[in-house]
Structure 1
Amino acid sequence: MLATTRMKKSIRQPENWQDFESLCKKLFGELWNCSLKIKKNGRLGQPQAGVDVYAIPEGQSKYWGIQCKGKDNYKKSKLTKKEIDKEIENAKSFKPELETFIFCTTAVKDSKIEEYIRIKDIENRENGGFEILLYSWEDIADFIDENRNTYNWYVDNIQFKDQFDTQIDFFGVDNELIVKPKFEKITTKYRIKKPIDNQIEKSIFPHHAFLSQVEPIGIFGGSNKINHSWCSFETLIHNSGSTVLEDWKFYLYFDENVRKIDDDFTNDIFMYEKLSKYRTTFAYDEDNMILYSPLDDKPLIQKDSRQFKSYFIPKIGSKEVSIRWELLARDYNREGTITFQIEPEYENSTKTAWVDSKEDEKEEIEIIEFVETKKSS
Structure 2
Amino acid sequence: MLDIRLRKRLENFTLELELAASPGITALFGHSGAGKSMTLACVAGLTRPDGGRITLNGSVLFDSEQSINLPPQRRAVGYVMQDYLLFPHLSVAQNIAFGLTGLSRPEKARVVEEALQRVGLAGFEQRRPHELSGGQQQRVALARALVTQPRVLLLDEPFSALDGPTRALLRRDLLRLRADLGIPALFVTHDLAEAYLLADRIAVIEAGRLLQLGPPEAVVYRPASRSVAELTGGGNFFSGQVIAQNSTETMIQVGPVRLTTPPTPVEPGSQVELSIRAERIMLIRKDAPVGLRENQVEGCIINELTDGFNHTLFFRLDEGQRLRQGGYDLEIMLPTYVYERLGVAHDKRWSATIKREAIHIFQGGDIHHGTF
Does the pair score TM above 0.5?
Answer: no
> Which TM class, normalised by the smaller chain length?
under 0.3
Larger Rg over CA atoms: 1
Superposition TM-score, scaled by structure 2 size? 0.25
Q: TM-score scaled by structure 1?
A: 0.25
